Structure 1
């Protein structure tokens, strides 16, 4: 039964990642991978909210599988982040590559911490 929850979350997360990436990237005339950056930061925020909710007893293990493993696992993409960063560096945009790494890590961690703090404020 657990794998069904993971698959169900992924069925929503994967197309959501693709559609969000395309929508965001089409609005920016830049080599910076804004679409991937956006889905990764949003995924960090959702996972932070879910983690905070679980810590407060407001999220079941089934919800964690559905949203955390399934949805966020398919929504976020470390492999694409790595690939796009490598392509930027190889293409001569080393500054963008460095900004992508630093901004993704700092903003992703910030979003996760903010999600936990929001969830704790809401459920405690």
Structure 2
């Protein structure tokens, strides 16, 4: 859980205008040295002290840019394997994605690659 903006502001003020070192500010306000360093760096580079939103997906934007191509590819060749899709992406789009990234993309969009049985199960065969 993120610490309060009030504490962050006191640490940053202590370092920037109070003349404290980051280590001294961390000791004085009973926080980790790494937090004091990060908060002061964030303030000096962006002018902000508030924490950024935590969690969420930060990496799927690159593959989502190829959404239309991938979904069209599956419509045209529904029996394609993930390796074949990966090779087509490299050849046609110049993009390289791991098979696990492709699997997560299709999972997000509700597309599965389950094998279908060629023949129905025999009800006359005895199973143990």
| TM-score, normalised relative to structure 2 | 0.24
Q: Which has the higher contact order (CA 8 A, sep 6+)?
A: 1
Q: Which has the larger radius of gyration?
A: 2
Structure number with higher helix proportion: 1
